[in-house]
Each structure stands twice: as structure tokens, then as C-alpha cells.
């Protein structure tokens, strides 16, 4: 197996006594698009900023492409980071951005940058401050990709975009990934977008990793199980309940089957990604589970 692009062990970041990220132990695989999902304040930006070397952990360790984040110029060149507000220089033109990118980045790919700007129809003479949100995001993506990094990190790249601009951005991202052999880690609130472009998922809530894995595995391994009350009190080894809802006659569970074998329980059916994510988020916040209430008999 390829070396993970990001490895963390008990990674923790606190601001004073406030936990932003707690005890995160992760291996994010190479050659994938990894999605980080979670509600506001879950710790997504914190994890990405730690990976980019913008902040230091309070405790625990993080390695990015086998090195300390932002360890030296070579490491910086290997990681492209696009912060939440798609940073561009408003007074510089699109062409100025490309010139600056070339000056600042030893591995700059002039052809990729120019081709991409042409493809997305950006006027090189236009000041970045006059671009739309979608165009700014495309410019930021082009600049990050033309660095020819081994890892691209995006913090909420599509949050401010309308659905069409979002789709265009994600399409460009997938094209870059296919063309440039780059790993991507991105955060998003939008589960449908994550499902469309990502193949590995990390769910963060309340500063903690709730679950992580390949999306295909996660969706295959999470089930809704319905049975007469009392029959689901004891589950097979390796089957972890994530949420439970009971009526006097019936129990409904959402379970994570970690046995590696199909779940052999009557009344078990797999759930989709969105239901799975919501179940973890509700569990983390100590809320009831709306999907389960819908199944109440
Ligand atoms: N510089 C800071 N000083 C103090 N607290 C901070 C700082 N940065 C983040 N936090 C806190 O750490 C927690 C995690 O924040 P973070 O920005 O990582 O969440 P997030 O999942 O990216 O949220 P969002 O989706 O809103 O961007 C939040 O409670 C936030 O208020």
C-alpha cells in the first residue's frame, strides 16, 4: 500500500482550554480525494491548518507526505493549500497571478496554468477583485494545481459558490486529479458534493474523528436494523451500535459492521452516505436521530 499522504497520531489542538481537535488518529490514503465533513466548529479547518503547517499541535503528531508539515522549502512546494476564502490578490490581474506563481514556485507548470485559464475562459487582463466567486475559486484552484504539488488541501472550496459554479469547480478539481496525479484533501459541509468527488471520508464532530474510511466501505458497512423490542440488545462481536431508537414493540438501530463479513441479522439493510453522516453528527451532539424516528412503528 502507498504511504498515507497524512498520518496523525493522537493529534490535539487546543486554544486555551477550548478543544479544536482532540486525539485524532488518522491515515489518509495516497492517490485519493479525501473529504472532511462536519458541522461548523467541528475542527475541519484546524486539521487542515495543522497539515499545511500554519499552526502547531498542542500534542500528538502529524506527518504530511512523510515529513513535518512546512518543514522546509521542498516540503512547502509539495503541498498546495487553498484557505477557506479562496485568497487572491484583488488588485492583481489573472496574468499577474500566474507570473507571481511562477516566480514563487520551483515546480511551477506554466502550460497547465495557461491551458486552464483559457479553458475556463478567464480574461488574463482582468483584476482578480472583479472576478465572480466561482471564477476566483477557479483561479485559486489553478494556482494551487500549477505548483504541481503532491498534495492539494482545500478548506471549504465551494462553500460560497452557487450550484453551477460549485459543479464547475468540482469538475475542474477532478480533471486536475486525473491529469496531475495529485492527492486531494478537502473539507465541505455538503455531503452530496463529497459523495460526488471523494472516495475517502473523515467525519469530524465536536473536535473528534467520528469515523473514517473509504466511502464504498463505509456505505457497505453501515446498516439500519429493525427488530422486535429486546431482540437487538446483544449484537455480534464487531458490530457497533451508532444510534438506537425504541418503541414499546420495536427497536431500530444504526450499526457499523466492522467484522469484514456481510451483516447476518434479520431486518438489516445498508443506509446511504447522507443518513450515515447525519447519524454520526447527531450522536456526537447527543441529539435524537431523525432518520430513526421516521421508522417508528
Ligand atoms: N484561532 C482560534 N482561536 C480560538 N478558537 C479557535 C481558533 N480557531 C478555531 N477555534 C475554535 O476551534 C473549533 C474548531 O474550529 P474549526 O475552524 O477548525 O472548525 P471547522 O470545522 O473548520 O468549522 P467551519 O465549518 O465553521 O469552518 C471551533 O470551536 C472554533 O471556534
Cell numbers at 194, concatenated: 463529497
| pLDDT value of residue 91 | 93
* Residue 245 DSSP SS3: strand
In this structure, the answer to whether residues 65 and 162 fall within a common structural domain is: yes
Cell numbers at 65, concatenated: 507526505
ipTM: 0.97
In this structure, the answer to whether residues 196 and 83 fall within a common structural domain is: yes
| pLDDT value of residue 77 | 87
Residue nearest to atom 26 of ligand 1 (CA): 40
Q: Which of 205, 229, 254 is the last residue of a domain?
A: 205
Residue-wise pLDDT for 212-270, tens only, equals 999 999 999 999 999 999 888 888 899 999 999 889 999 999 999 999 888 888 889 99
Q: Under a CB-based contact definition with an 8 Å cutoff, are residues 170 and 186 in contact?
A: no
In this structure, the answer to whether residues 94 and 172 fall within a common structural domain is: yes
The answer to whether the CB of 17 is under 6 A from ligand 1 is no
> What ligand 1 atom has the least distance to the C-alpha of 207?
14
The answer to whether the CB of 202 is under 6 A from ligand 1 is no
| pLDDT value of residue 226 | 93
Task: Give the pTM.
Answer: 0.90
Q: Which of 163, 183, 205 is the last residue of a domain?
A: 205
The answer to whether the CB of 105 is under 6 A from ligand 1 is no
The stretches in the chain having pLDDT less than 70 are 1, 287-297
DSSP string, 140-206: HHHHHHHT--SEEEESSTTTTS-HHHHHHHHHHHHHHHHHHT-EEEEEES-HHHHHHH-SEEEEEET
Place of cell 504530511: 64
| pLDDT value of residue 295 | 43
Q: Which of 183, 205, 227 is the last residue of a domain?
A: 205
In this structure, the answer to whether residues 243 and 192 fall within a common structural domain is: no
Amino acid at each position: 500500500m502507498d504511504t498515507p499522504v497524512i498520518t496523525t497520531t493522537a493529534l490535539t489542538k487546543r486554544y486555551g482550554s477550548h478543544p479544536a481537535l482532540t486525539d485524532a488518529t488518522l491515515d489518509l490514503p495516497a492517490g485519493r480525494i479525501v473529504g472532511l465533513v462536519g458541522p461548523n466548529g467541528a475542527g475541519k479547518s484546524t486539521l487542515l491548518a495543522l497539515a499545511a503547517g500554519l499552526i502547531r499541535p498542542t500534542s500528538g503528531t502529524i506527518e504530511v507526505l512523510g515529513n513535518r508539515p512546512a518543514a522546509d522549502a521542498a516540503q512547502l512546494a509539495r503541498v498546495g493549500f487553498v484557505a477557506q476564502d479562496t485568497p487572491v490578490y484583488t488588485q492583481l490581474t489573472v496574468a499577474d497571478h500566474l507570473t507571481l506563481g511562477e516566480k514563487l514556485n520551483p515546480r511551477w507548470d506554466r502550460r497547465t496554468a495557461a491551458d486552464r485559464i483559457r479553458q475556463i475562459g478567464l480574461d488574463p487582463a482582468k483584476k482578480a477583485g472583479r472576478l465572480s466567486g466561482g471564477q476566483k475559486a477557479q483561479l485559486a484552484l489553478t494556482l494551487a494545481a500549477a505548483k504541481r504539488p503532491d498534495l492539494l488541501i482545500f478548506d471549504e472550496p465551494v462553500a460560497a459558490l452557487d450550484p453551477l459554479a460549485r459543479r464547475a469547480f468540482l469538475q475542474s478539481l477532478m480533471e486536475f486529479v486525473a491529469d496531475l496525479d495529485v492527492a486531494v484533501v478537502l473539507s465541505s459541509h455538503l455531503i452530496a458534493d463529497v459523495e460526488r468527488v471523494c472516495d475517502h471520508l473523515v467525519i469530524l464532530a465536536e473536535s473528534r474523528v467520528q469515523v473514517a474510511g473509504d466511502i464504498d466501505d463505509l456505505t457497505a458497512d453501515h446498516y439500519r436494523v429493525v427488530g422486535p423490542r429486546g431482540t437487538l440488545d446483544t449484537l455480534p462481536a464487531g458490530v457497533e451500535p451508532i444510534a438506537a431508537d425504541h418503541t414499546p414493540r420495536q427497536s431500530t438501530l444504526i450499526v457499523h459492521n466492522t467484522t469484514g463479513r456481510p451483516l447476518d441479522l434479520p431486518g438489516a439493510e445498508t443506509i446511504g452516505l447522507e443518513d450515515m453522516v447525519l447519524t454520526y453528527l447527531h450522536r456526537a451532539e447527543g441529539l435524537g436521530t431523525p432518520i430513526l424516528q421516521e421508522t417508528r412503528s
